[in-house]
Amino acid sequence: MDERTYTADAEPGDHVTVAGWVHEVRDLGGIAFLILRDKSGKIQVKFEKDEMDEDLVETGLNVHRESVISVTGEVEAEDRAPTGVEMLPGSVEVLNEADAELPLDPSGKVDADLSTRLDNRTLDLRKKEVQAIFEIRAEVLRAVRDYFRSIGSTEINTPKIVATGTEGGTELFPITYFGEEAFMNQSPQLFKQLMVGSGLERVFEVGPIFRAEEHNTPRHLNEATMIDFESAFIDHEEAMDVCEGTLKAAYEAVAENCTEELDLLGYDDFETPDGDFPRLTYEEAIERINATGELDEQLVYGDDLSTEAERALGDDVGGHYFITDWPSEIKPFYIQDYEDDPTTSKGFDLMHPRMELVSGGQREHRYGALVEGFEQQGLDPEQFDYYTKMFKYGMPPHAGWAYGVERLIMTMLGLENIREAVLFPRDRQRLSP
Ligand code: ATP
Ligand code: MG
């Protein structure tokens, strides 16, 4: 359709062909209106029954809602039309008629629950405010990629079918790989570290991760998208700087380039985080949580932070913050411990007041200490030979982190459920579409 014009570009005086979906047909007797919707917006098409060809009027007014049509005709200024212009059709072509009954109302007049929406995601995404979430998601990923490129980071893609897990055996999805057991990757962690030692030095990846999370929660998916970053010759403090920079770049890009989308989602005061994010040690964090009095039971050193604990601290801090210096025993084997205090790790989390967004840290790059870490975590270093042996051939000191994209979008837009930020979520109940 070479000569197709977007509805938003149709100007009074133009003779155009527009194409899209039938949003609504309103028959007022002598005249009738068909509202045609495309990606750019909507346009009103006016049918004057007495003055127009009978077949044309018939076609225009009998077509079912959400059918795909094209209309060719004159554009005129019309103050009473919602967009200030309307079309007088010379011809109407029905390209594909929709069923009269729809499982979901894309005009949004009839509410649908999340499950019905996800079952009919195609129709659901015809709603501008749902599209807005994914336009913002795309802008976030663009901004993040640009930011990484501006600091000399190379985008990589690593395997998603792997021989071993990294983040705990219970969350692995096993698959059969030519008769042998394999797994869906839980994280690009080990691969990105290998690339830090490759001469690429500084890498990032945007890709899927798979976790057999047992429970359905509003912030866990079984397939999520992760933004991973890893760099040679930086420490955990510098990795936090990059992490903070990435987050601010994402917010600023959305504030600047997604004003229409933010409007649709009802934001008149979208705030971009500024100032340095506070960096609390784990010890300070649990003291502050205990001091809020929000928890039934006081936390003690070594406890992981529950959802309630994260909430209590988030309310107290009131913005993004880091938790640093985690106890070594609750951080993974690949995180480095402090030289003078092996019970404390150089791991960190970036927190949004509502939940964890990022985990990262300085990595253990010394072969001996790394293998020891495997054993302490009850993992068999032999199984990870492809990874550990590269630490014998010149592995630089390095640090990095990983974001969940959907959590970033969810917290940025205040979405209640992480599934809102995924086109086709995978969870305990949902394997299709
Ligand atoms: P949580 O404790 O919140 O379940 P985690 O500590 O297990 O997360 P990490 O292994 O640290 O997760 O992964 C890094 C980031 O990836 C997390 O901070 C989060 O943003 C995201 N992430 C991890 N698991 C999931 C999941 N199942 N669904 C969506 N995002 C996830
Ligand atoms: Mg984590």
How many Å apart are CA 269 and CA 262, to the nearest integer? 9
Q: What number does the ligand 1 atom closest to the CA of 349 have? A: 18
Specify the 3-state DSSP secondary structure of 371.
helix
First-last CA distance in the chain: 30
149-178 pLDDT, tens digit each:
999 999 999 999 999 877 666 789 999 999
Alpha carbon separation from 159 to 189, 318, 404 (Å, rounded): 11, 38, 18
Query: Which residue is it, tokens 């989390």?
Result: 349
CA-proximal residue: ligand 1, atom 18 (nearest): 358
Specify the 3-state DSSP secondary structure of 330.
helix
E strand or H helix at 224:
strand 223-232
The pLDDT assigned to 377 comes to 84
More confident residue, 344 or 380: 344
Q: What number does the ligand 1 atom closest to the CA of 418 have? A: 29
Closest ligand, as measured to the CA of 189: 1
> Residue 150 belongs to a domain with what CATH number?
3.30.930.10
Residue 84 has pLDDT above 90, yes or no: yes
The angle, 0 to 180 degrees and rounded to 10, between the axes of the packed helices 236-257 and 405-413 is: 50
Give the domain extent around 142.
Answer: 122-277+319-421
> Residue 64 belongs to a domain with what CATH number?
2.40.50.140
The pLDDT assigned to 108 comes to 83
Alpha carbon separation from 7 to 10, 126, 127 (Å, rounded): 5, 15, 16
- On whether both 38 and 136 belong to a single domain, the answer is no
399: β partners: 231, 362
Q: Is 77 annotated as a binding residue?
A: no
Q: Would you say residue 115 lies in a domain?
A: no
Active site residue 236: no
- On whether both 179 and 49 belong to a single domain, the answer is no
Q: Is 308 annotated as a binding residue?
A: no
Q: What number does the ligand 1 atom closest to the CA of 356 have? A: 18
366: β partners: none
Percent of the chain whose predicted confidence (pLDDT) is above 90: 91
Report how far ligand 2's centroid is from the alpha carbon of 402 (Å): 8
CA-proximal residue: ligand 1, atom 4 (nearest): 220
Active site residue 220: yes
87: β partners: 45, 75
Across the chain, mean pLDDT equals: 96
The mean per-residue pLDDT over the stretch 286-299 comes to 95
Question: Which residue in the list 86, 407, 419, 420 is annotated as catalytic?
Answer: 407
Question: Which residue in the list 23, 137, 219, 419 is annotated as catalytic?
Answer: 219
Q: How many domains does the chain have?
A: 2
- On whether both 198 and 328 belong to a single domain, the answer is yes
Q: Would you say residue 305 lies in a domain?
A: no
Question: Which residue in the list 65, 117, 202, 211 is annotated as catalytic?
Answer: 211
203: β partners: 154, 230
Which of 58, 80, 96 is the endpoint of a domain? 96
How many Å apart are CA 270 and CA 258, to the nearest integer? 10
Percent of the chain whose predicted confidence (pLDDT) is above 70: 99
CA-proximal residue: ligand 1, atom 12 (nearest): 359
How many Å apart are CA 102 and CA 124, to the nearest integer? 11
Active site residue 198: no
212-250 pLDDT, tens digit each:
988 899 999 999 999 999 999 999 999 999 999 999 999
Residues in the chain: 433
47-74 pLDDT, tens digit each:
999 999 999 999 999 999 999 999 999 9
Q: Is 101 annotated as a binding residue?
A: no
- On whether both 90 and 135 belong to a single domain, the answer is no
